[in-house]
Every structure is written in structure tokens, then in C-alpha cells.
Structure 1
Amino acid sequence: MIQKSATTDLLARYGGRAREVARSVLVMQRAGLVPFPRLDHGVHSLIALSRFGPFVGAAKHAAALTPDRAAIIDELGPLTFRELDVQSNALARAWQADGLGQGSVIAALCRDHRGLVLTMLASGKIGARLVMFNTGFAGPQLADVAKRENVRALVYDDEFTDLLSALPDGLARYSAWTEAGSGAGAQAATPVPSVFTLIAEHSSDALPAPAKPGGFVLLTSGTTGTPKGAPRDRLTVFASAQFLDRIPLRRGGITFMAAPIFHGTGVSQFILSIALGCTVIFSRRFDPERTLAGIAEHKADALIVVPTMLQRIIDLGPEVLGRYDTTTLRIIFAAGSAISPDLSRRTEEIFGPVLYNLYGSTEVAVATVATPDDLRLAPGTAGRPPVTCEVRLYDADDRQITAPDVTGRIFVRSGLSFGGYTDGRNKVMIDGLLSSGDVGHFDRNGLLFIEGRDDDMIVSGGENVFPLEVENLLVERDDVHEAAVVGVEDETFGHRLRAVVALADGVPAGDAADAKADELKAYVKANLARYKVPREIIFVERLPRNATGKLLKNKVAEL
């Protein structure tokens, strides 16, 4: 009986995986990623991916199919897929001449532009591992990560030169972008070579594949200390189906990349867009109105953002929004932090049913995706798991929760999940699923709702409070631009709730501030349980956020 049960379980598991593979193929075919009936193109793509890794493989495949199509457009103009391929060949040869190659670690501290893209391709072609630095990191954070990751070379935009003083003197340095007047190469004691000079000086002949792909290392936000490294070395052929199953990106589209590609949101959609032969429009610095202008100019059908970027676009108001034709947009892809129900509703009112909200993390990658239909049914939902992903909830005793509307810790199985931090640590795992670090619940329709970080829970007077519920309620008001709730120590209650609020009309003072605080407290009390009412409210111009728009709760607590 035991043997029969084990055999049945095994067959069920492999039968389920076979169905997932079949469904994944259909998803990729629908998007144009599996080129039926030209299966030879598909085979070539798989070979390139296995030999060079996901990004180089995708770019090589696109260069073979549509060599003269614009792959990217940045401030310097367009670069075709062929130009990306040959220029990255030359940069790879230059780095090999400098002693970089298989197993070397290269770091990039760059905004979104061709210099970063060429760095990504060239590092992959020589089998080097690329660490993607966050442009919002401070100098000590950069130094700590560079030491831990054994970085041998750094590619950076000249605007960040002043941050590099803490880095080792022996680190090879290359300039990826020079702005007028910055002249970092001229200011340095030893001129820093430009990646574009290296490209001009070296052969662009194709290189043999490295012994094995080098891969990427994405970094966590570092909001509580030194950023952790999450390697992206593992990739299944069907990983792209996790996005394409619920987000209708299609071959040959035009993607406006507002999110930085050093972040998981940006890099995943950039690689997928390249794999689909799409043209990607870059903007080095996010500006909400320039984003609208770029969408209109290039007739983009997809916009990639983090939620704070979307909020800033919506906040431009009807007059500015009405100046630009954005009717070509079929997709607004948002990920990186929670989207409030209010922002979900306002986005549909302005742009129509085009918002796709991905929930995941640097570690688990993809967990769920909410489609426009999901968000209309339940604004603010994180949606459902796409093909090849599984999400479960567990209680404090590691027992699975299957009932609807019961809060639990969120665990994820995904083909894109990392295999552990580069320092050897890992997230908690149960039954082969990885902790996201968040808590939430499924409703009766199977839609996931995120209630907050597991470690954000505030115990006040013996009651458990997750700040996100209070924050979402406050930002539904027209007079509240953004809000954050934290717990501060209290002798009577253990912790008390403090709300930090940015009003639409600026910071009130004196009696006006007291009156507005009382008004907001009364509003929360009328809509939520008494113990969820903040005991104090502080008004600020804006909340502290990092370069990807993630709220810095440690900074909020200090206000």
C-alpha cells in the first residue's frame, strides 16, 4: 500500500509537470516566442540560451531573425540588434585582453542606456558574472558588496564617480556614460577608458561560447543594511511563460522601459522584450511627463514601471495627461511594491483596462500576476499564480492554510527563484517552496491579497496590525498623496501606530496640522477597528524612498 501510494504521488507530480510544460509551450507560441512552423529558429534559440545564458541567447536569436530592427533607443538614438551583437563582441574582446573572462566578476553602476546593455552582453559572452548595482546605493554599500562579491572590474556612469572613493584602488574601471561637463575620465589621476573607445579599438568578430554562462547577481534593496546578492544563474527554457501566461507581450512590439534594469522588474521585462524582438525605449532618468511624451512619440504598446512611477504619472492630472496620445498602450506592467486599490482604479479610469500587477521579490521572482479583469473585480489584488508557479500559505506552525480569507505566510515555487544568497544564506523553505517574507490571504475567488511584510506586523495592545491596510485606506482620500504606518515603542501598549502622511496640498502647520490629524484619525476609526487607528500623525512633503521607489521604513520610523 505504501509503495502504491508513493508511485501514485510520483506519477501525479510528473503528470502535473508535463501539463505545465505543454501549457508553457502554448503560451510561448501565442506570444511569438516559439516560432511555429520554423522550429529550426526555435532550436537555434535554445542552443544560444544554453551556451550563453538568457540575455545573450535572446539577443543573438533576435539578431539572427531581425538584424536591422532597432533593439534599443536611448538618448543617443537607435541601435539595431546587429549593432548590439557586433559592438558587444568588440567589448568582450577588449575585456579578454585586460584579463577578464570565465568566472570574473564585473559590476555595473549605470542608468538605463546602451552602455549598460553592451556591458550585459559582453560580460555574458566571456562567461563573467555581472553584479547589477543599484544607482541609489551609498558609497559604503557599494564597497561592502564589491568586497563580498569579489568584483574585479566596475563599469559606471561618470556621474557616480564621487561614490567610488571607498572601492579598492586595484579595481579595473570603465566609463559607460559621460555627460557634458562631467569629464570623470579627465579628472581621474589615470584616465578611465570608455567602453565605446574599447569597442572602436577591438575586433567585432564573433566569440566562441564560454565554458558556462556567467549569470547575473541582482541585489536586494539594502534597506536594513548591506544589500544581499541574489544570483540569477538558474533558468528554465519555460521561465518566460510565467510572464507571458498573464501579460500579453507580443513579438515585435515597442516597450517603454521606465523602470531601471538593475532591478528585477526592469531586467526581466527587458530580457523578455529582447527575446520577442521588441524595440525597447530607454530613459536614463524618470520624468512622468517625458514618459508620456515618449509613449506618444514611439507609439509604445507596453510601459514598464514601479508603482511610485505610475503614481507620479497619474498625479500629473487631466490637463497634462490629455496632451499626449497614449492609446497605443495595451500593457502597463507594474511590480516592485504593492499597488493600492485607489491607484488600480485611477489607472483604469485614465488608461483603460491595461494594468498588470506582478507580485514577487528579488528572491522568489514571480509569484502572482493580477490582470485588468482581476483588478476590476478586486482592486489592489496581487492576482493568481501563472503557469509553472505555485503559491501556498502557511501558519506559524508551518501548517498549510487552504481556507479562504485566512492570513498566512506566503511561500512560492517558481522556475526563476534563486538558489540562495551569494553569502551562503537562504530564505526559509517549506515543502520545496521559498518564503517571500510577506503575509497575505486568498479570497474565495482564488485571488491573493498582500497584507504586509511578515516582520512589519505591529503588536499594539495585544492586537496584530499590518500597516498596509491602514496605508491603503488613507491614500484612497483625495487629500492624501501617500502614507506610511510604522510601530514605535510605547510603555502602555508595547507599540503604538504612527502614520507619516504626505498631503496633496503640502505640509500643514500649527492648529491646521492638529485638525487634519484628528480628521484622518476619525476617518480610520470609521472604517477600521479601533486598535488600527494611528495614535499620532506626522506630515511631510514626501516619503523617503530608494531608487526603485521602495519605501524606506527605517527612515520613516526616524521621522
Structure 2
Amino acid sequence: MPGVLTKMTDTLGAARVMVRAGLVPFPRVDHGIAAILAVRKYGPFAGPIHAHAEAGLDAVAIIDERGQLTYAQLEQQSNALVRAWEANGIAPGSVMGAMCRNHRGLVLTMLAAAKLGAKLVLMNTGFAPPQLVDVAAREQVRAFVYDEEFAAVAAALPSDVRLFLSWGEDTERGARILDELITGQPTHAVPHPATHGSFVLLTSGTTGTPKGAPRERTSPLASAQFLDRVPLRPGQTMVMAAPAFHGTGMSQFAIALALGQTVVMQRKFDPEGSVRLVAEQRADVLVVVPTMLQRIIDLGPEVLSKYDTTNLKIIFAAGSAISPDLCRRTTGAFGHVLHNLYGSTEVAVATVATPADLALAPGTAGRAPVTCHVELYDEAGVRITEPDTVGRIFVSSGLSFSGYTDGRDKERINGLLSTGDVGHFDKDGLLFVDGRDDDMIVSGGENVYPLEVENLLYERPDVLEVAVIGVDDAEFGHRLKAFVVAAPDSTPDDQVLKAYVKERLARYKVPREVVFLEELPRNATGKLLRRVLIEMETPKD
């Protein structure tokens, strides 16, 4: 665990990063003090909006399918929404839920919940009714904001849950619409809550029902983790393709608003539509999850060359591993702009790979930014220091959670939190994630991590997507099975794919079977659902 000297060094380093990035408006000390006071009043998400509005920032905050909203309008409308909710019986300390795509309704809900002092549970837009009901009951949700398209899902909630529509209508439950609620309400600043509002982010649910990872009040210095190795700056324009209800989108959205950027929100992801927005808005930043990036690159040069993306300085990707092949193809399509963040819902930020890191070692997770510390441990809890030695990844971060909402926690060693992944450092100190700890396959007494085999097959032009799992085998304990989605206009042969792996990796890493699918099962944030593939192999009673 970082000692006193390390913490002092982290604090000074974080302060320097924030000044360099423009988050601390030196030498305008008065603006800096006002921003700090606003964050103390309303928290790290709503506080900067209030500070920008009070300072008279004349800038567009968000652009969505309904048009533009300035920072002043965000401040005023969120104040009105707080008062409307209070008039509808929602008090500070209430637990609210939101199931919304990327648009102003979600943004206003997040801001108003923070100003009210409510706890907001950000639901996955891919939830079916049973999942929503289970999570809402566990988190004790008493009010729920949702998009019209999720009316059938929201209908499964108990009748005592107050319902609010982001916009649209729901004739079955008669939910109040946010636009109507705020009409006529006073828009001046609301009193700050006695206790800050908070967010509950949900884990990806790749192994079962998503768990709740609360995000309580954090130090403003924690923002430096995102700014240290990613050149986000004031006045930029960001296209938000990643869902804002999850850690990747929410973190970058919060940073963008704190910097006074303009965020262009894409309600539903469309690969060519994202590139078109980057070109039309002369965007500096594009935020995606890796599956989105894969689909953008797979558009090919003929489509991508139609759009002028020369102003794009940053592609920020996080949420799952990026293959070396995708790193190289992204650089070929957009230049040296890819920044890959590695972390998790629980630990937040672990490492960031810059374009320079990815040029040196495509596929690397990079290095820990300021205030973050990454260490590897073996199964006995002994720290691993030798390069190229695989161990379990543990992280110390000022944004790490304190435990799940159901009372459970992840393993901790020396104050560092487990990511659930295994990886290694190379001789240059770059981190590589080799796979999930529980994805390891033991075949014939040898340890195999699927990611290595998947990355190799991704390099083939006839393979669009691939996932490797272990299935029971009487002779070897487990054998590898690959699920492959063929690239458009390609018909890869299973024997050719197996021979390709055999020529490049050890014999025990060669899949014994290759199955071709139309698509791989993924959740709403693009994460692969290996359990669905495993269930396909499980005999039914």
C-alpha cells in the first residue's frame, strides 16, 4: 500500500497534471477557488457545471439529436428538475434508477440526482425485465427514469416505484415526462445537499447478475488519472459513442464537462455515423469501447476516406482488451491517436497505453498514470517483480470502490484491489493483460489463456471476431474450442485456422474444434459473454 511519502508525491504529481491540463485555471485563482467550492457543494459531477455557469462560460455543453444545450441551460434545467422531484416526493437520500441512452435526459438526471443528494443507480440498457427487477430490489430503487423504448421493461417494476420518462410517453403507467416536470419551476441555484449524491455503477454481468459498485465522494485530484497520459484539454469537442451509463463513458463525460468541452452524444451507436459526427463537428476526441472501434475500423478505407477526421487527436478506448492487430489497423486508419485505458468498474483506472506505447508494443495496456499503482502477485500472495512473469493484477487507485452494495468485496493485498485479471510486465515496464484469472484453461497440465489464441486469429483478414473457451475432455481434462465470426465475403476453413495457430503457438494452444457463428454474444457495453458460449456446450437435462 502506498506510504506517506508516496501519497505526498502522488498529490503533488496530480496537482501538476491538473494545472498542465487546464483543469485548474492557473493563474485565474478566483476561478479555481470557485470551482473547488462548487465541487464541495454539489460533488465532482454537478459542481463543475455550476462553476462554469456562475463564471459565465459561453459554450455549448452537449449536442444530441434534439439540438444544443449550453452550460447555463444545463445548470438551470437541472435546478428545475431538482425542485420538480422534491415536489413529487423524492427527498435527499432517495435511491433512484436510470435506464437511458446517451442524451440530455440522462445528463439532466445525473446532474439533478447529484444536486438533490440522491443515490443514482445507472442501469444497463440491455437489461431484460427480470434483471431490472432484481437489481432495483437489491439497490432499493424508489424512483426510476427511463426512455420510452424501455417502457415494457419498466412495466415490470413494482407499482410503488415512481416512474419518470426522459421523453416520449408511456400510456400504461402514466409516467411523468421530465420536460413537463421542469416547466415553470424556478431555475436559480438549489441549496446544496447535506450529503453528496452518489452513483452506483453496475459490473458488466458477464458471469451472472450485475453487482453494484458504488461511487461515493472522491478527491478532485483523482481526475488527474485520466489527464496524465491522455491529452484532454479545455475547449475540445468530444464525440461520446460509448454508453454513458458505464464507467468508460461516464468518466470521460465527467472529465469533458469539468474541462468545459462540448460533448456530442450519440444515442445509438452506428459505426459510420460516429465517423460522420467526428468529421461534421471537427471533433478532437472520440470515446468508444473496443467492439465499437473494431466495427469502425472494419468499415474499411473506402468508407473512412469519405470523412475528414484530420482534427481527431484522441481515440479513447476502454472496457476490454484491444488486440495488437486492432491497434495497428487503428493507427493505419487515423494515425497515432489511440489511447487505451485498462481498468475495471471496481478499481477504475489501472494503466493507460499512449500512442507511443502502442507503437512500441501493440496490444499493451501501458503504464500506471499518476496516483495509480499496479502490482502483480502469485497465488500465494507473493509479489512478482521479474519481467515476463505472469501474475494476478492488483491496483491502488483513488477511484477504487470500497465494496459491492451487497456487502461482498474483491480480494485485496497490501491495500491493492484485485482486477480479476492476470498479466505481466515486459522489460520496459509496460503491462500486458493475458486474460481473466477465471478464464484460464488447463489442457494436458498446461495453462492456456484464451486471449493469446484470440489475438493471433484476429490477425487473419478472414476472421472478424473470435472467442476461445475450454470444454471438458476425457484425455486432457480440457480442450480448446474456438468460436469464429467470418469477415465479410470470407469463408475461412477450420483446418486452415487450426494449422495457422499450430505454426505459431505451442501444440496445447491449438483449438481442437472451430465453430462458425453469425455473431458472438455480447452485452450492451460490448463485453463478450463467455458464459453464454460455455452454456452452449453444457448438456441439458
> What does 1:283-302 correspond to in 2, within 5 Å?
283-302=266-285
1:64 & 1:251 partners in 2: Cα distance?
17
> What does 1:89-488 correspond to in 2, within 5 Å?
89-178=79-168, 184-185=169-170, 187-188=171-172, 190-488=173-471
Could you list the per-position Cα deviations for residues 8-39 of structure 1 after superposition, in whole angstroms to 9, with x for gaps in the alignment? x9xx9322222221111111111110111111
- C-alpha RMSD of matched pairs (Å): 1.3
SS in 1 for 2:83: helix
1:234 & 1:124 partners in 2: Cα distance?
11
Name the amino acid aligned to 1:309: M
Name the amino acid aligned to 1:287: D
**Which deviates more, 423-432 or 60-69?**
60-69
Aligned-residue offset at 1:493 = 1.3
The corresponding residue for 2:15 is: 25
Q: Does the 8 Å contact 1:420/1:427 carry over to 2?
A: yes
Could you list the per-position Cα deviations for residues 473-502 of structure 1 after superposition, in whole angstroms to 9, with x for gaps in the alignment? 000011111100001111211111100001
1:215 & 1:236 partners in 2: Cα distance?
13
TM-score normalised to the size of structure 2? 0.97
Aligned-residue offset at 1:60 = 1.3
- Is residue 2:77 matched to residue 1:87? yes
SS in 2 for 1:120: helix
The alignment covers a number of residue pairs equal to 536
Could you list the per-position Cα deviations for residues 150-204 of structure 1 after superposition, in whole angstroms to 9, with x for gaps in the alignment? 10100000100111232111110000032xxxxx42x21x521100100113221
Name the amino acid aligned to 1:530: R
Aligned-residue offset at 1:66 = 4.5
SS in 1 for 2:124: coil
TM-score normalised to the size of structure 1? 0.94
2:332 & 2:183 partners in 1: Cα distance?
49
Q: Does the 8 Å contact 1:458/1:464 carry over to 2?
A: yes
SS in 1 for 2:131: helix
Aligned-residue offset at 1:223 = 2.1
2:104 & 2:445 partners in 1: Cα distance?
54
Q: Does the 8 Å contact 1:507/1:539 carry over to 2?
A: no
The corresponding residue for 1:500 is: 483
2:284 & 2:20 partners in 1: Cα distance?
17
**Which deviates more, 33-42 or 72-81?**
33-42
SS in 1 for 2:220: coil
Could you list the per-position Cα deviations for residues 270-291 of structure 1 after superposition, in whole angstroms to 9, with x for gaps in the alignment? 0000000000000100001111
Q: Does the 8 Å contact 1:62/1:276 carry over to 2?
A: no
Q: Does the 8 Å contact 1:461/1:493 carry over to 2?
A: yes
Q: Does the 8 Å contact 1:234/1:416 carry over to 2?
A: no
Which of residues 530, 547, 553 is equivalent to 2:507?
530
> What does 1:15-54 correspond to in 2, within 5 Å?
15-54=5-44
Q: Does the 8 Å contact 2:392/2:421 carry over to 1?
A: yes
Structure 2: runs of 5+ lacking an equivalent: 537-541
Name the amino acid aligned to 2:60: A
Structure 1: runs of 5+ lacking an equivalent: 1-8, 179-183
Aligned-residue offset at 1:263 = 0.7
> What does 1:542-557 correspond to in 2, within 5 Å?
542-557=519-534
2:437 & 2:290 partners in 1: Cα distance?
21
